[in-house]
C-alpha cells in the first residue's frame, strides 16, 4: 500500500541567513541562544516574510501512482522535495519526474500556450480545464542549521536543566527513557521573545499566503518534546483561545533509525517499520474504497526533517508513531491565537451585520468619550 496525500496547499517559507554563525560572542558559554543570530534572522529576513519574496506556494494533488504538483512561486527559483511535479503555470512550471534531491524549475513564457494547445488537440478541439478544490493549507518553513543548533544549545543548557514539565496538559506518552520528557519552553525571556517574533511573522505569512487572510497571530505557548525508543504521541489536536488558531512543530533532532528511512514509504506490509517515528496528519476517515470512488485521501505520513517547521490549523488531528532505536527524536511544538484585522472581519459580514457593527462601535466610542 502506497502512502498517499490529498489535495492540500503547502506553503514553503525559506530564509537564507547571511552572516549567521554558531559562536558565542558574549563569552558566556552555550547557556544562551546566540542573540546576534536571531537578531540577524529578524532584521535581515523579516521584511522578506512581509514582502513574501521568499514564500513558495505549492498545491499538491496525489493519486496512487504519483504526486502531481502545481507550483506557484513568488520569485525566480523554486526548491522542492516532492516526488513528482507537473503543471502549466506560465513562466515557472514544467513537467519532470523527481527521484530525489532539490529541483529548480523554469520554463519559457510560451510553454503555457503550447500545453494549452496540446490539451485542446487531445480533446477534439474542446477546451479542457481542471478546477481543484482546496481542502486546507499546511506551511513548511526551513530554518538554517545555525539557528537549529542554537535552539538545541538553549534546550540542552537551560530548558532541560530547569526541567519544568509541560506533560500535565499534553497527551504525549513520552516515558520510556529517563530522559523522555515534554518541557515548557518560555516565550517571555530573551530567547523566547526572539523566537516568538519569528514564529508570529511565520503565522501571519502562512495565513496570508494559505488563506488570503489578514490577521495578527500570537504565539502564546511552546514546549519541547524529547522522545526515545517506544515513546509516542497519540491521536490529538491542539487548543487555542480564539475562533481560529494555528499549531505547529519544528523538528530539532532525529535518531539514526529515523534518518535512514525513505521519506516516501513504500508500504507497511511485513512489519516494514517504514513510518516509525513519522508524524501522521489526519483530516478525515476516507477508506481505500472511498479513494477508488474518487474521494480524496484524508491522511498522510510525514518524515521528520531536522530544521523544518510545519504550521497548520489547530483542528488538524495528528499523531506521532513510536520508533525503536538509539537516540532522541526532539521537536519544539507551539500554538498561535489568531485575531482578524477589522478589514478582514468586515469581509465576513453581511450588509446588515456591518451596519450593526458600525452602530456598536459608535456606541462604544460615545461611552468612552
Domain of residue 157: give its range.
Answer: 1-369
- Residues whose CB falls within 8 Å of the CB of residue 348, separated by 6 or more in sequence, listed in order: 340
What cell does 103 get? 529541483
Across-strand partners of 334?
Answer: 222, 248
Q: CA-CA distance, 166 to 133, in Å (whole number)?
A: 38
Per-residue pLDDT at 57: 39
Name the 3-class secondary structure at 360: helix
Per-residue model confidence as pLDDT tens for the chain (369 residues): 333 333 344 445 443 333 333 334 333 444 455 566 666 665 565 555 444 434 343 333 333 333 333 333 333 333 333 332 233 333 333 333 333 333 333 434 455 567 667 777 777 777 777 888 888 999 999 999 999 999 999 999 999 999 999 999 999 999 999 999 999 999 999 999 999 999 999 999 999 999 999 999 999 999 999 999 999 999 999 999 999 999 999 999 999 999 999 999 888 999 999 999 999 999 999 999 999 999 988 999 999 999 999 999 999 999 999 999 999 999 999 999 999 999 999 999 999 999 999 999 999 999 998
Q: Residue 278: give its domain's CATH number.
A: 2.60.120.620
Query: Measuring CA to CA, which residue among 201, 164, 169, 206 is closest to residue 184?
Result: 164
Number of independent structural domains in the chain: 1
Listing from the earlier edge strand, what are the strands of the sheet with 317-320?
A: 233-236, 317-320, 279-282, 299-302
Per-residue pLDDT at 229: 98
Amino acid at each position: 500500500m502506497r502512502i498517499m496525500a490529498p489535495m492540500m496547499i503547502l506553503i514553503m517559507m525559506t530564509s537564507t541567513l547571511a552572516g549567521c554563525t554558531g559562536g558565542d560572542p558574549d563569552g558566556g558559554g552555550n547557556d544562551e541562544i546566540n542573540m546576534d543570530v536571531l537578531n540577524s534572522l529578524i532584521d535581515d529576513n523579516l521584511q522578506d516574510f512581509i514582502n513574501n519574496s521568499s514564500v513558495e506556494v505549492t498545491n499538491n494533488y496525489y493519486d496512487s501512482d504519483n504526486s502531481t504538483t502545481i507550483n506557484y512561486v513568488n520569485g525566480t527559483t523554486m526548491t522542492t522535495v516532492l516526488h513528482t511535479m507537473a503543471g502549466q503555470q506560465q513562466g515557472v512550471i514544467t513537467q519532470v519526474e523527481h527521484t530525489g534531491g532539490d529541483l529548480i524549475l523554469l520554463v519559457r513564457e510560451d510553454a503555457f500556450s503550447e500545453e494549452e494547445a496540446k490539451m485542446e488537440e487531445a480533446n477534439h478541439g474542446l477546451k479542457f480545464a481542471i478546477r481543484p478544490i482546496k481542502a486546507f493549507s499546511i506551511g513548511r518553513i526551513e530554518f538554517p542549521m545555525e539557528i537549529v543548533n542554537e535552539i538545541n544549545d538553549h534546550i540542552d543548557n537551560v530548558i532541560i536543566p530547569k526541567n519544568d514539565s509541560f506533560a500535565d496538559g499534553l497527551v504525549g506518552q513520552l516515558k520510556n527513557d529517563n530522559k523522555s520528557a515534554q518541557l515548557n519552553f518560555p516565550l517571555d525571556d530573551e530567547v523566547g521573545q526572539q523566537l516568538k517574533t519569528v514564529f508570529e511573522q511565520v503565522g501571519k505569512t502562512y495565513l496570508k499566503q494559505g488563506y488570503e487572510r489578514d490577521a495578527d497571530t500570537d504565539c502564546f505557548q511552546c514546549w519541547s518534546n524529547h522522545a526515545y525508543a517506544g515513546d509516542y504521541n497519540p491521536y490529538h489536536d491542539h487548543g487555542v483561545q480564539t475562533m481560529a488558531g494555528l499549531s505547529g512543530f519544528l523538528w530539532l533532532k532525529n535518531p539514526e533509525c529515523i534518518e535512514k528511512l525513505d521519506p516516501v514509504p513504500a508500504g507497511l506490509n511485513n512489519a516494514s517499520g517504514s513510518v516509525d517515528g513519522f508524524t501522521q496528519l489526519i483530516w478525515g476517515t476516507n477508506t481505500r474504497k472511498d479513494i477508488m470512488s474518487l474521494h480524496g485521501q484524508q491522511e498522510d505520513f510525514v518524515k521528520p526533517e531536522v530544521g523544518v517547521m510545519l504550521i497548520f490549523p489547530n483542528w488538524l488531528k495528528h499523531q506521532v508513531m513510536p520508533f525503536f532505536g538509539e537516540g532522541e527524536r526532539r521537536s519544539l511544538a507551539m500554538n498561535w491565537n489568531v485575531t482578524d484585522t477589522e478589514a478582514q472581519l468586515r469581509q465576513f459580514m453581511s450588509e446588515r451585520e456591518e451596519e450593526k457593527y458600525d452602530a456598536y462601535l459608535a456606541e462604544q466610542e460615545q461611552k468612552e468619550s
